[in-house]
Amino acid sequence: MQEINKGLNYTMLTTTQVALITGSGRRIGAHIANILHTAGINVVLHYHHSEKEAKELCEDLNEKRAHSAFLLPADLADMTCLKNFVTDAAAFFGRLDILVNNASCFDKTLFGAVTEDHFDQILNINLKAPFFLCQHAAPYLKEQQGCIINIADVHADRPMRDYGVYCISKAGLIMLTKVLAKELGPLVRVNAVSPGTVALPEGKNELSPSVKQKILQKIALNRHGEALDIAKAVLFLVREADYMTGSVLVVDGGRSLSI
């Protein structure tokens, strides 16, 4: 970690708001980090596998505003590292105001072929890690009267064939949002954003052109969403939603109307 953030002061105190965004090296997480940073918020950028992209983003943000971004690698599936992970995130800038649980595992899981290890892998990243990150971050967030934003999915309550474990994990994340809104209120607001078809999966999970077209036909706004659409929703919940907690903001172009 010291090498990654070489040249930065690890005990820099600030009066500027600080956000920890998990999975912020690329895709939706990177856009969230960018928009919060543009709004004047300092950011702690978490990554696991996307080291190259995260380093490039961190350098870019620090060029725009010196000492405003900090890299923090971690395997969120390792529950033993989460307490120190949050402590390090809060220690760098001397505070923590915002936690965005964005890191997610999106894997196809045919019901008859799901193994216990695969089930645990998805639940650990998508639900268990956010739970304990919130637990460890709560004292810092209470001190600043901050907020938590969980990135869920419209399929949390609309099941998607062959992605059952993923849907279950996101349903749990929405319930976690509502539970923590009661547990942490009135000092900490807890909300969720539920994206629709945004930042389509890549690699082994990439959808075929025909599937993409079928999805598009079911979207009322007749376009796939962009990562920036989700980032804007997060910024709204951070800056403009003082009287919202336990809410789920659906950003899907109207797709859930047809599911």
Superfamily classification of domain 18-257: NAD(P)-binding Rossmann-like Domain (3.40.50.720)
pLDDT tens-place string over residues 164-190:
999 999 999 999 999 999 999 999 999
What are the domain boundaries of the chain?
18-257
Note the pLDDT tens digit of each residue in 74-121. 999 999 999 999 999 999 999 999 999 999 999 888 899 999 999 999
Dump pLDDT digits (tens) for 132-159: 999 999 999 999 999 999 999 999 999 8
Model confidence pLDDT, tens digit, residues 25-58: 999 999 999 999 999 999 999 999 999 999 999 9
Active site residue 166: yes
The arithmetic mean of pLDDT across residues 196-202, rounded, is 73
Burial of 154 (0-12, 13-18, 19+ CB in 10 A): buried
Among residues 140, 163, 166, 243, the one annotated as catalytic is 166
Query: pTM of this prediction?
Result: 0.92
> DSSP states of 197-256 as a string?
SBS---GGGPPPHHHHHHHHHT-TTSS-B-HHHHHHHHHHHHHT-TT--S-EEEESTTGG
